[in-house]
Amino acid sequence: MSSVEEFRAEIRGWLKTHLSGSFAALKGRGGPGREHEAFAERLAWERHMAAHGWTCVGWPKEYGGRGATIEEQIAFHEEYALADAPARVNHIGEQLLGPTLIDHGTEEQKARFLPPVRAVEELWCQGYSEPGAGSDLAAVRTRAVREDDAWVVTGQKIWTSLAHEAQWCFVLARTDPGSRRHAGLSYLLVPLDRPGVEIRPIVQLTGTSEFNEVFFDGARTDAANVVGAPGDGWRIAMATLGYERGVSTLGQQVGFRRELDALVALARRNGAAADPDIRDRLTRAWAGLEALRAGALRGTDPSAAKLYWSHWHRDLGELALEVCGPAATLAAAAPYELDDWQRLFLFSRADTVYAGSSEIQRNIIAERVLGLPKEPRP
């Protein structure tokens, strides 16, 4: 048995043993559009994982991880999804902030922030998008001014996932008042439990609120809480986005497979599969998911991967309502009780917008991958 197979067997066995008892009820809970489900219990589950060494498996051992290889990390995420384990609450800290600090942070920042992330004692959110700078991240207007031993942050962030549950936010802010676009930005670590921070949940199409507006009105963070040099924030922010589209997406694809298999089974039960068009679309969805997995294993360009999976998943949501038929347009009960297919359809509308809109991903692919002329800008 290879080391990867041994690693896969180890995590599979651990999940079978520990995702039981009081934790068994968490199977399938949480995830996009459902982050409100059993949040406290999922947090307890993830701290249980941390106590047994199953958080941050890809981090180097010197920072509390297992030093897992890429192949082992793939195995971990796939087995976690196959076990129908609950959606992770610490993804942003573990998969985004942690690798960013490991590669770009000071030793003092690593010592302060990495242990609480590994132990799931501090949760993080991402302060990038703004009302006037969503996909055009270089247009951020949130500013930070250095005052003695602190950065003073003023501005607004939006679509901030799980900010209402987080204790910290990594914020892209303009620290050079005369700068434009990518220059003069800094990557700051800002506590959310200080004066000058207000968090307002946004009610989504699903009726839930996992996205938020975050307002900074003179919020302060220690001067040492800047990752990289002041003004070098764009480079650090792009590094974080690279980690965001890493191996954990393979676990996401296992979830996609489960949704597709359930939809095929539904189409067979309710007779929708007798429609040649439905059969063709289900087959294309299967083929598309196979291509998505093959691309992930080969290391597809992150922008191309994001563009592909988001449209695949959005199309699956549309297909789900076609399979369900006209009744899918009605809520299951008042005032707004949705079934899983309705929730999939509604939330997947956001897939092509968050984490980089499709329009921007196409520009990145055209300009940086294919070398085409840049889009004209005023």
The residues annotated with a catalytic role in the active site are 244
Distance (Å, whole) CA 121 – CA 314: 34
Q: For residue 137, which phi and psi values (nearest 5 degrees)?
A: -65, -30
Q: How many residues does the chain have?
A: 378
Enter the tokens of residue 113: 């922030």
Distance (Å, whole) CA 50 – CA 64: 10
Distance (Å, whole) CA 137 – CA 237: 10
Cβ atoms within 10 Å of 110's Cβ, excluding its own: 15
Rg (CA), the chain: 21
Distance (Å, whole) CA 296 – CA 292: 6
Distance of CA 5 to the CA centre of its chain: 27
Per the CB < 8 A criterion, the answer to whether 260 and 316 are in contact is yes
In Å, how far are 117, 173, 329, 356 from 241, measured between CA atoms?
A: 18, 16, 36, 9
Distance (Å, whole) CA 217 – CA 185: 18
Residues in a beta bridge with 198: 215
Cβ atoms within 10 Å of 260's Cβ, excluding its own: 19
In Å, how far are 188, 217, 219, 333 from 196, measured between CA atoms?
A: 16, 5, 4, 40
What is residue 174's three-state secondary structure?
A: strand
Strands 197-202 and 168-174: unpaired
Distance (Å, whole) CA 17 – CA 372: 53
Distance of CA 252 to the CA centre of its chain: 10
Distance (Å, whole) CA 45 – CA 88: 9
